[in-house]
Amino acid sequence: MKKNTWTSKTLLMTAAFFLVGTGYAQAGQPLVSTDWVASNLETISNPDQTEIRLIEVSTRENYEQGHIPGATHMQWGAETFDPTTDHMVLSLDQVERIMGKIAAPPETHIVLYDGDDKTHHVARVYWTLKYWNYDNVSIMDGGMHQWQNQQRPVSTDGLDVTPRDIEVTYPPNTAIRAMYSPDITYALANGRTTLVDSRSESFYKGEVYSLDKWVRNGHISGAINLPTMKSMNQDRTYRTTEELADLYAGAKITPDDEVILYCDTGVLASHAWFVMHELLGHKNVKMYDGSMREYANRFDTPMVPGIVAEGVPAHPNDQTPAHAAEGEDKGDLARLINN
């Protein structure tokens, strides 16, 4: 009976999100198509309205080289993480300042797209806005890559928006954010929460890791690996809802499971959260904001294999470097991932 119930829920979920999965969603859905954005360019290009605000998430250079007409800009890094922390979520005053600069109060329909082929970056901003109680947020499926492939118009003119004071609701939506304490420690203790590593397999196995981000390799003990970029098509659009449901079902993750997602710095994990929570309707899903940047830089957390990188003290108070296996090339271990 339980199996049949879950199958029925899956079918209903697939039907409900079918338009999203095929890229033809309308306003109010997690995904909107390039067609939808194109049909709303007149509104989007009006700097005085606050009905729809189109935001490109990219570097300043990318935005200035060309963007969708009417799009404002959010600079990746400087405006997407709290600069007083190590890649953690923006604070209340920071969100109000950044969104106020582009006159985008919480009642505005926010439409995000990536300007530099990094779909996980824009998903991180989506998660941040959802955390800060922006209810009407969408991602343009395919990003700038799809827009340009369809030979749609591109502009180098910025939108002359008059900044305004905005008020964001407090408290934030803590139901979607996992913290090391109590969430991760409790998950490790109870064994009932599924920990999902959203990075590539090589990072999960500890074959590579980023020394500028953490000092121990591998994954959280007990975590499974499901690289979130398997959710994407070659043209940088999301796979259909049916394909996404099969992907997570294949990892034995059901819609009712309690799940905590993590990656390097909470970026790929935000992408996985977007897929699971927003496209597939899994409600018991949290994103571990600190991810490996926090977890793997502690020395009291279980990891597999958890080897300390060459030249890094084995303990914070130990000044004797711990050495990697003989003949291991530190340069290979220090390969970076754009996360």
280, 13 contact by CB (below 8 A): yes
pLDDT at 327 exceeding the cut of 60? no
The confidence score (pLDDT) of residue 325 equals: 30
**Catalytic entry in 263, 269, 275, 296:** 263
Supply 185's token pair: 């420690």
pLDDT digits (tens, 9 = 90+) for 240-255: 999 999 999 999 999 9
Q: Are 290 and 88 in contact (CB under 8 A)?
A: yes
Under DSSP, is residue 56 helix (H, G, I), strand (E, B) or coil?
Answer: strand
Provide the pLDDT for residue 337: 31
What are the chain's domains? 33-169 (3.40.250.10), 175-333 (3.40.250.10)
Nearest to 20 by CA among 173, 231, 200, 199: 231
* 263 is an active site residue: yes
**Plot region of 133 (φ>0 → left; ψ -120 to 50 → alpha; else → beta):** left
Q: What percentage of residues in the chain have a pLDDT greater than 70? A: 83
- What is the pLDDT averaged over residues 153-179? 97
Q: Which helix (H) or strand (E) holds 128?
A: helix 119-131
Structure-token pair, residue 46: 């009006």
Judged by DSSP in three states, 280 sits in coil
Backbone angles phi, psi at 231, to 5 degrees: -80, -5
Helix (H) or strand (E) holding 306: strand 303-308
> What does the mean pLDDT of the chain come to?
86
Provide the pLDDT for residue 313: 52
Q: What is the pLDDT of residues 193-227, one digit of tens each?
A: 999 999 999 999 999 877 677 889 999 999 999 99
The two structure tokens encoding residue 145? 């890559």
pLDDT for the residue numbered 26: 53
* pLDDT tens-digit readout, 24-45: 345 569 999 999 999 999 999 9
Confidence band (pLDDT; 50, 70, 90) for 13? very low
224 Cβ contact list (under 8 Å, min separation 6)? 194, 195, 196, 197, 251
